Copies of this chain bind each other. A is one copy, B any other.
Amino acid sequence: MNSEQQDTVLRALNIFAIETPSWGYANTGTRFGKFQQASAATTTEEKFQDAGQVHHFTGCCPTVAVHVLWDFPRGKASTSETKELAAKYGVRVGAINPNVFQDQIYKHGSLGSPEPEARAAAMRHLLDCVEIQHETGSRDLSLWFADGTNFPGSSNIRQRRRWFEEGLREVHEKMSAGQRMLVEYKPFEPAFYHTDIADWGMAYLLSKAAGPLARVLVDTGHHYQAQNIEQIVAWLLHDGMLGGFHFNDRRYADDDLTMGSIDPYQAFRIFHEIAAYEFDTGARADIAYMIDQSHNLKNKVEEMIQTVCFAQETVAKAALVDHGALKVHQEKCDLVAAEEALKDAYNTDVRPVVHEWRKLKGLAPKPLEAFRESGYTDQAERARGQKNREAVASYA
């Protein structure tokens, strides 16, 4: 890597930040049971404490996505307390994530439920979240709806869409310039026959119906097998409709595995499309990069650091693509040369330059090793273990 390339990578890393989710520090599992870890976070304070560690060792995770139901136990009234807890551990409150799926009232949906009480409850919660968003100064309201049905005939799909359009528009009206509404899509789970916002096209049309502050949120695990995610990213960028990402990896369904653990080249291609857009337009893509994973078995802080390191390395690789040369190959339909331009960047071992960036920031070059050596996990196990063991509850 020549020094110009090195500078390119360092600049790319300088402006890259990625948000970790508070729920990524808590115990999770599958429908067959939650996996328990003695050091897992159960309180909002513990979650911020863990998130603070990730930021401390990586230097690029200054904000934490929060979950209103779990991190704002008294709703709006918890706002200043939650902000202070974040600050205490060196991070800030990031995207506001409502929860309109956990309560039994949402059994048949939230904004799309045939039951008026469910729709009303969802609307109240969403409007509360917008108020919290105003108070925390969070830019993004990040919306995931579990709405859908399990069987043909269960519900009127068009009617549910109308309810969604009305509901999102009503929420949007309470938002202000500078804020954004991110609309996530997902093909299935927990609904198994139809999901109201199943793909990017549905999220796109609902965003347009909601209002000008709405954008599409791409969760990399929420696609059909073989679907080309980077093409969706390119289309959304083209239309100014890409709001952000929930990164994770998957093999089968929404597996919520560590980003890059199954298909690292896929992640590279996504970052390449963003870099190519920025090269072509000269503008910076305005995107919220966020992690959304289920750390079932690995130590949660370690897995988060592993993820952040992978994201940085991928940003670095994408920055190395020679866009000028690529453009020439593409215009000449020189497919081999065009592909090799991507492969050259991807095959480069960028770890040394990422280590260099960390040293420039006063960070340990290998965050995972440094964290392991810090003894934090042992401490957390001692402090939280007893409580966690008592909370053990099987799913059955």
Tell me which of A120-128, A247-255, A356-364 binds B: A247-255
Q: How far is the CB of A208 from chain B (nearest CB, A)?
A: 10
| A226 engages B188 (CB within 8 Å) | yes
Tell me which of A30-38, A51-59, A83-91 binds B: A30-38
| A225 engages B226 (CB within 8 Å) | yes
In whole angstroms, what is the CA distance A166 to B247 when docked?
34
Task: Give which listed residue, B154, B230, B280, B335, contacts A339 with CB less than 8 A.
Answer: B154
| B146 engages A333 (CB within 8 Å) | no
A286 within 8 A of B: no
Interface centre among A69, A226, A269 (most CB of B within 10 A): A226
| B299 engages A336 (CB within 8 Å) | yes
In whole angstroms, what is the CA distance A326 to B187 when docked?
25
A348 within 8 A of B: yes
Task: Give which listed residue, B190, B265, B297, B333, contacts A30 with CB less than 8 A.
Answer: B190
Tell me which of A5-13, A134-142, A168-176, A195-203 binds B: A195-203
Kindly identify, within residues 183 to 238 of chain A, every residue whose CB is under 8 Å from any CB belonging to chain B: 187-190, 192-194, 198-202, 204-205, 224-228, 230-231, 234-235, 237-238
In whole angstroms, what is the CA distance A153 to B351 when docked?
21
Q: With A158-B280, A190-B30, A228-B193 known to touch, is A297 a contact of B107 (CB < 8 Å)?
A: yes
Task: Give which listed residue, B30, B235, B263, B341, contacts A189 with CB less than 8 A.
Answer: B30
Task: Give which listed residue, B102, B340, B341, B349, contacts A395 with CB less than 8 A.
Answer: B102
Q: How many copies does the complex hold?
A: 4
| B224 engages A339 (CB within 8 Å) | no
Contacts of A33 in B (CB 8 A): 101-102, 190
| A330 engages B114 (CB within 8 Å) | yes
5 closest A-B pairs by beta carbon, nearest first, are: A201-B201, A224-B224, A225-B225, A349-B349, A192-B255
A-B contact pairs, 27 of them (CB 8 A): A30-B31, A30-B190, A31-B31, A32-B190, A36-B104, A150-B257, A150-B335, A151-B258, A151-B261, A152-B230, A152-B262, A153-B330, A153-B338, A157-B230, A193-B261, A193-B262, A194-B231, A199-B201, A199-B227, A201-B202, A225-B225, A226-B252, A262-B265, A263-B263, A297-B335, A336-B368, A393-B393
